[in-house]
């Protein structure tokens, strides 16, 4: 073989290695993406049943129920059109309260509840997660 053939073989090997690396990277990124769904989309059955996703909305007043002696808490999220019951077993953020906007990460269970493994709450009175704000505007129009 001539040196030109070795060079072409080396370039081909590098291209194959880069292609394999890129495919591993894209696969890992695809598995870690969390899509956002509003309570209306969840009620319509849009989210996948077998993957984690995010749901956000306002915590319905009077919906927070705690199991005595355990970390489990149940509450309802709303976008003012539809509600999603949420079950979370863990310590809630200090700023979590009824009537505020939150985003929860998790999956749907067979009973229609969203089982959260992480709950994120807003950090001040004027902030609402952008996804929640957009879904509320979509339900009530731009003025709502």
The two tokens of residue 40 are 């209306």
| Angle subtended at Cα 114 by Cα 109 and Cα 118, rounded to the nearest 5 degrees | 120
Number of domains the chain contains: 2
Strands 53-59 and 36-37: parallel
pLDDT of residue 144: 45
The CA distances from residue 70 to 37, 44, 87, 88, 130, in Å, are 29, 32, 13, 11, 32
Rg of the chain on CA atoms, in Å? 22
Co-location of 91 and 117 in the same domain: yes
The CA distances from residue 130 to 50, 77, 127, 139, in Å, are 25, 16, 9, 14
d(CA 32, CA 57): 22
| Residue 68's pLDDT band (cuts 50, 70, 90) | confident
Co-location of 90 and 112 in the same domain: yes
pLDDT of residue 14: 92
Say which CATH number the domain at 109 has. 2.40.50.140
Q: Which run of H or of E encompasses 95?
A: none
The range of the structural domain enclosing residue 57 comes to 36-140
Co-location of 18 and 75 in the same domain: no
The whole-number average pLDDT for the span 106-126 is 82
- Give the closest residue to 54 by CA, choosing from 80, 76, 35: 35
pTM: 0.68
Co-location of 91 and 136 in the same domain: yes
- For the cut 90, the answer to whether the pLDDT of residue 74 exceeds it is yes
Co-location of 107 and 132 in the same domain: yes
Q: What is the pLDDT of residues 8-50, one digit of tens each?
A: 998 999 999 999 999 888 887 776 677 888 888 888 888 877 7
Find how far residue 95's CA is from the centre of its chain. Answer: 19
């Amino acid at each position: 073989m001539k040196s030109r053939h070795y060079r072409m073989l080396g370039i081909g090997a590098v291209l194959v290695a880069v292609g394999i690396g890129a495919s591993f990277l894209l696969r890992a990124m695809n598995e870690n993406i969390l899509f956002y769904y509003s309570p209306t989309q969840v009620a319509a059955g849009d989210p996948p049943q077998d993957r984690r996703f995010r749901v956000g909305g306002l915590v319905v007043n009077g919906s927070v129920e705690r199991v005595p002696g355990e970390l489990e808490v149940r509450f309802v999220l709303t976008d003012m059109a539809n509600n999603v019951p949420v079950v979370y077993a863990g310590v809630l953020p200090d700023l979590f309260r009824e009537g505020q906007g939150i985003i929860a990460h998790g999956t749907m269970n067979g009973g229609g509840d969203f089982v959260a493994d992480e709950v994120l709450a807003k950090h001040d009175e004027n902030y609402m997660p952008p996804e929640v704000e957009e879904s509320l505007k979509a339900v009530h129009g731009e003025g709502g």
